[in-house]
Amino acid sequence: MKILLLNDYGAATGGAEYQILALREGLRSRGHDARLFASTALYSPGKPMADYYCHGSVSWSQSLLMVANCSAFRRLRRVLAAFRPDVIHISMFSWQLSPLILPLIRRFPCVYHVQMYNAVCPLGTKMTPDGNLCSQASGLACLRSGCLTPQSWILRMVQKGLWKHWRNSIDSLVAVSEAVRLRLTNEGLPVQKVVWNGVPLVPAPRVLTAAPTAAFAGRLVPEKGVDVLLHAFALVRRRIPSAKLWIAGDGNERPRLERLIDELSLRDSVSMLGFVARDEMERKFSQTWVQVVPGRWEEPFGMVIAEAMMRGSAVVASSLGGALDLVEHQITGLLVPPGDVAALSDALTSILSEPGAARTMGQAGRARALRDLTEEASVDRFVALYEGLLKHSLVAEAE
């Protein structure tokens, strides 16, 4: 098959980008001709790895490109005429490529693998500025809640209108988790199925670190809940003085979190690692006792959870979003109410005080990851989906 992959960004700078690049390589390894179309934009340092490019931006002009990227329209039209793919796979298009690409793909079998909530939320998070989950449909509510300024609201509503007008160009809407499927379905976008992301195979760890160690990896932004984790870890330290916490990642919350570490007298037990490359993080975290995912928002999938399970780490996560698909409570880890400092502290204490529990949960998580969450398994699911789309298309043409 010839498969054209579409994604806003074409470098390994985030979870969705890792996924689309891994999917391309997995398809190629099976003999398919898979190519990636992306914008030139980079929201963090990375090496461009797409096969085709259109103009992109992360400056002020991005707000205009999100609505109508004429470069994406012109360039994609040429690529489709030359490559003539059998199937088109969309990962993300709302940040750079814009809805202008949708009428071009109407005559091709197309699957949209929804990685975020952009289809029903202009910000893609379904969260309000006060940190609460949003239960309202996008529209005037986005303006009233302060999510958008009047100028940005107008642009996002135009984008929404174009998406609504052309969304029938997509044949199959597929969610990355049950949480995303429910969100979209409840807001009038029926989703056919759920296809989980896959993670690379890594060696199983041999021993745990000498000191009971918890790890966090992700952007340092409010919705990730690192402040909740620090308050919880301060309670853990009262019970387990030798406990350590490693925090990998960077973001605009870092100065506030650094001050909180000092206020809680955690400077000797919490290590702020900053940005850590993926391979280095796997080495660093390979022997940690537990991965913590204390988010306040409905994480669409939870790549760090899947990666932790693959390396054999127990997981403690907030009980919402993609974590509900991945973490089997008291088997592969523990689920706690989001924002609940006491519950998070108790969960961490139960694992960090008992290495046997950490090992048992980690082994169960790895077994689950090897069965369901490999990159190979993800490619298998998409190949089956593409074949089904092609078969349906051929039947429709025959009729």
Pairing of β 270-274 and β 2-9:
unpaired
Q: Where are the beta strands (DSSP E) in 158-231?
A: 172-175, 193-194, 213-217
Question: Is 90 exceeded by the pLDDT of residue 392?
Answer: no
The predicted structure's pLDDT at residue 397: 60
Determine the residue type at 272.
M
What would the pLDDT profile of 231-250 be if each residue is shown by its tens digit? Answer: 999 999 999 999 999 999 99
pLDDT at 391 over 90: no
Query: Which residues, in sequence order, are CB contacts of 232 under 8 Å at separation 6+?
Result: 294, 341, 342, 344, 345, 348
Question: Quick one: pLDDT at residue 209?
Answer: 87
pLDDT on residue 147:
92
Q: Which helix (H) or strand (E) holds 333?
A: strand 333-336
Tell me what the mean pLDDT of segment 226-234 comes to: 98
DSSP 33: E
Mean pLDDT of the chain: 93
Say whether pLDDT at 395 is over 80. no
**What pLDDT was estimated at residue 398?**
56
Q: Tell me: the pLDDT tens digits for 11-52?
A: 988 888 999 999 999 999 999 999 999 999 988 777 899 999
pLDDT per residue as tens digits for the range 286-336: 999 999 999 999 999 999 999 999 999 999 999 999 999 999 999 999 999
Domain at 213-372: CATH architecture: 3-Layer(aba) Sandwich (3.40)
- Read off the pTM: 0.92
**Domain edges within the chain:** 2-198+375-398, 213-372
Q: What pLDDT, in 10s, does the model give residues 240-282?
A: 999 999 999 999 999 999 999 999 999 999 999 998 888 888 8
For residue 336, the surrounding DSSP H or E stretch is: strand 333-336
pLDDT-based confidence at residue 104 (cuts at 50, 70, 90):
very high
Please say if the pLDDT value at position 53 is more than 80: yes
- When pLDDT is averaged across residues 57-83 and rounded to a whole number, the result is 96
Q: Do domains 2-198+375-398 and 213-372 have the same CATH topology?
A: yes
Query: In whole angstroms, what is the distance from residue 50 CA to residue 148 CA?
Result: 31
- Please name the helix (run of DSSP H) or strand (run of DSSP E) that holds residue 92, with its range, or none: strand 87-92
Percent of the chain with pLDDT over 90: 81
CATH class of residue range 2-198+375-398:
alpha beta
What's the confidence (pLDDT) of residue 378? 96
